[in-house]
Chains A and B, each alone.
Chain A
Amino acid sequence: QSVLTQPPSVSGPPGQRVTISCTGSSSNIGAYADVHWYQQIPGTAPKLLIFGNNNRPSGVPDRFSGSKSGTSASLAITGLQAEDEAYYYCQSYDYSLNVVIFGGGTKLTVL
């Protein structure tokens, strides 16, 4: 069971906007730990999508954005495309456990 909770799956048609939530606690996201997001296409390694809550690495389209509030964070994807179909993971740090933590992952299906 992951310390960060994500919905197992989300879906939407092409062109739609979807959001993926990541819920933590007062010892991680709520303690101002930054949240990072990764995209993993099946059969490949995860790729950094968002770092520091809302920053995109070079090359990541601006259709992807991150936000954080309280003990939760969200990844938003606008203008959904077939190539966005993948697993998405949030990641942070827990100051009580002194450990890097990941969410369990969310499978995005483009209908």
Chain B
Amino acid sequence: QVQLQESGPGLVKPPETLSLKCTVSGGSISSGGYSWGWIRQSPGEGLESIGYISSSTVTYYHPSLKSRVAISLDRSKNQFSLKLTSSTAADTAMYYCVRVDVGPYTPHFDSWGRGTPVTVSS
């Protein structure tokens, strides 16, 4: 059973870049059939899909974040990463890394990390 674990700073100063990593165990990020992504949850905005990346590095980003976000793979470490530039207080949220099933149904998230809280504040 695949497991995901987020890591990264819990406090980011605006307008620095928010950077998180997700370590995957029990499965390879290089195997096909799944993409790997990030979801955030804040009290005011609910759940929001930030974006995801396929094993062949095709990316999908939320239109409202597209200009600031980058998701990448590190196959040697079986990890994937999130970078969100020009951070503001509005980026304060719990961040989850997820496995994305992009199979016959519309994309959905079948495995989740435990989440990591990130606060953007000076």
Contact = CB atoms under 8 A, between A and B. Distances in A.
A10 interface: no
Interface stretch (B26-34, B44-52, B83-91): B44-52
Given A45-B96, A99-B63, A100-B62, A93 B110 contact: no
A97 B63 contact: yes
Given A46-B112, A47-B112, A48-B110, A102 B105 contact: no
Q: How large is the interface on A (under 10, 10 to 19, 20 to 34, 35 or more residues)?
A: 20 to 34
Classify chain B's interface size.
20 to 34
Interface in B89-122: 96, 101, 104-115
Interface in A54-111: 57, 89, 91-93, 97-100, 102-105
A94 to B, nearest CB: 10
Interface in B7-66: 46-49, 62-63
Interface of B: 46-49, 62-63, 96, 101, 104-115
Interface of A: 2, 33-34, 36, 38, 44-48, 51-53, 57, 89, 91-93, 97-100, 102-105
